[in-house]
Amino acid sequence: MPLRLLKYALNREYKEPRFFRDCQTPKETYDAVIIGGGGHGLAAAYYLAKDHGITNVAVLEKGYIGGGNTGRNTTIVRSNYLTPDGVNFYDASVKLFEGLSEELDINLFYSNRGHFTLAHTESAMRTMRWRAEVNKHVGVKSRVVGTDEISMACPQLDISCSGKAPIQGALYHEPGSIARHDAVAWGYARGADSQGVEIFQNTEVQSIDVRDGKVHGVQTNRGYIKTGKVLSAVAGFTPRICKMVGLQTPIVIHPLQACVTEPMKPWLDTILVSGSLHVYVSQSSRGELVMGASLDPYEFHSTRSTFDFVEGLTSHIADMFPFLSNVKVVRQWAGMADMTPDFAPIMGKTPIEGFYLDAGWGTWGFKATPISGKTMAATMANDKAHDLIHSFRLSRFEDYELTGEKGAASVGH
Amino acid sequence: MKLLNCPINGVRPVSEFIFGGEFREMPDPSKATDSDWAAYVFYRDNAPGVKKEWWFHSPSGTWFIAERNTATDEVLATYLFGKKPAESTV
């Protein structure tokens, strides 16, 4: 036990400073209101203050910060996407992540592991080659590797997958990393708060005041707040917020489940993903295997877990790693994934003046936390979409300019 | 939800079914504008509540309509397209 902790145990007062102020009563007016105190919303608040000097900002969180999908993902950070727009965007995020512990002065346990996307069929190999070429073209370190290199990196892996789906090769992505996801939210919260942003927990938005196609304020359980700019960064709750302003989107909510095993000695130092077996797995710094699978098969607005999920996932994990058959799953949970038809986010301006969307983060949101905050802050400050997110605009659907990122989703298809 | 009532085959495990998305009235393709068509293909409110949905019973190849609460996962009714029961509310 650190001595500091012992000192606090013997002291009547707890002198460790809070990460952010305990705000209870909102002011009458803010320059911007951010709905959703997850990584994305807090990052947007942080960059609004840091990059654009807009500090009169309120972040409204229905529960506690980082308690939604920020705390429910499997913490993988990568940029090996399929379209040049996607690769550029996520690469900018990886670069921000690499310097983030220092910038926010918090240990994010950012751990560069290397990321293998396993291919079990010739058509999957084709997609891997395609992704590798797009990545290399944009300057991201990805390459196709054979089974010998996979075995060298992870000798425990059964290359034949118990004979069911022999691995043919993989896309190896060197920058692939994992990070402590709740620390990302807390780090951004502290960074935003220290610059004057106010964070309100247990504060639910009940309605949004839109008149003449323009945002005038939001009604919350702590009273009415006047503002001309509202950012919705609420992932699985996006359709409910959009309904308040009468906006329709292509977003459909599916539960996405994950689980962890009991802690083990470190043995897996890479991140492994298999689209065919619907599995992604890495070992956390605590020693647990963090595992996720594909989406639940139909729309459902809930964070309930199912036995079907663990049963299916663990049978595939046992195909890859037969020696894990006696290891216990100790915890499982779900988040509400806001899926879009082209597996890319919906970011930027909307037909309603002053209403900005940071949504459609489906199964790929955590890795984009820093860059989505930065680009949404720029979009709100200038009332003009940042160049990096132009192709993620809501109007791409009526323009029939979808992005085609589906092939780069881990297992969602 | 673990079971679903197929209008042809009766109650079956939900693993036999495929979700087909929310039911939408299709505009006339020869008359619809590009934005009408985009609205039909993409835009919906998708907030939780009772929704009319397409479902598919895979072993028998049956497409049918289910009225389901997407917040609680309760199925209120299932029927073949165009054979809506009189007591249905959606």
A5: pLDDT confidence band, cut at 50, 70 and 90?
confident
CB contact under 8 A, B44 and A299: no
Query: Does residue A110 surpass a pLDDT of 70?
Result: yes
Q: Name the residue in chain B with its Cα closest to that of A338.
A: B46
**Which residues, in sequence order, are CB contacts of A401 under 8 Å at separation 6+?**
A391
Query: Does residue A97 surpass a pLDDT of 50?
Result: yes
Of A249, A299, A308, the CB nearest to B70: A299
How far is the alpha carbon of A237 from chain B, nearest alpha carbon, in Å?
Answer: 8
Residue of A294, A298, A307 for testing the chain B interface, max B β-carbons within 10 Å? A298
Q: Which amino acid is at A243?
A: K
Q: How far apart are CA A315 and CA A295, in angstroms?
A: 17
Q: How far apart are CA A77 and CA A280, in angstroms?
A: 12
Q: Average pLDDT for residues A224-244, to the nearest whole number?
A: 97
pLDDT at B47: 95
Q: For A64-119, where are the E strands, in sequence order? A: 76-77, 111-112, 115-119
A18, two tokens: 């809070």
Cα A24 vs. chain centroid, distance in angstroms? 28
Q: Average pLDDT for residues A17-40, to the nearest whole number?
A: 96
CB contact under 8 A, B45 and A248: yes
Of A243, A308, A341, the CB nearest to B42: A341
How far is the alpha carbon of A220 from chain B, nearest alpha carbon, in Å?
Answer: 19
Place of tokens 């073209």: A137
Q: Average pLDDT for residues B17-46, to the nearest whole number?
A: 95
Query: Does residue A17 surpass a pLDDT of 90?
Result: no
Q: Name the residue in chain A with its Cα closest to that of B42.
A: A250
DSSP code of residue A202: S
**Chain A residues closer than 8 Å to B38 by CB:** 397-398, 400
CB contact under 8 A, B43 and A298: no
Of A240, A250, A341, the CB nearest to B47: A240
CB contact under 8 A, A239 and B34: no
Pick from A77-81, A402-406, B27-31: least confident? A402-406
Query: Does residue A255 surpass a pLDDT of 50?
Result: yes
Of A243, A297, A397, the CB nearest to B19: A297
A10: pLDDT confidence band, cut at 50, 70 and 90?
confident
CB contact under 8 A, B71 and A302: yes
DSSP code of residue A378: H
Q: How far apart are CA A392 and CA A377, in angstroms?
A: 15
User: ipTM value of the model?
Assistant: 0.93
**Chain B residues closer than 8 Å to A240 by CB:** 47-48
Number of C-beta neighbours around residue A13 at 10 A: 6
B90: pLDDT confidence band, cut at 50, 70 and 90?
low
Q: How far apart are CA A314 and CA A322, in angstroms?
A: 10
B83: pLDDT confidence band, cut at 50, 70 and 90?
confident
Per residue in A351-393, pLDDT (tens digit) is: 999 999 999 999 999 999 999 999 999 999 999 999 999 999 9
pLDDT at A409: 72
pLDDT at A147: 97
pLDDT at A413: 47
CB contact under 8 A, B42 and A397: yes
How far is the alpha carbon of B79 from chain A, nearest alpha carbon, in Å?
Answer: 18
**Chain A residues closer than 8 Å to B46 by CB:** 239, 249, 251-253, 299
Pairing assessment for the beta strands A111-112 and A115-119 based on DSSP bridges: unpaired
Residue of B1, B36, B40, B45 for testing the chain A interface, max A β-carbons within 10 Å? B45
Contacting B with CB below 8 Å, chain A residues are 239-240, 242-243, 248-253, 297-302, 308, 341, 397-398, 400
Residue of B19, B46, B69 for testing the chain A interface, max A β-carbons within 10 Å? B46
User: What is the value of pTM for the model shown?
Assistant: 0.94
Cα A128 vs. chain centroid, distance in angstroms? 23
Per residue in A150-175, pLDDT (tens digit) is: 999 999 999 999 999 999 999 999 99
Burial (0-12, 13-18, 19+ Cβ within 10 Å), A172: buried
A306: pLDDT confidence band, cut at 50, 70 and 90?
very high
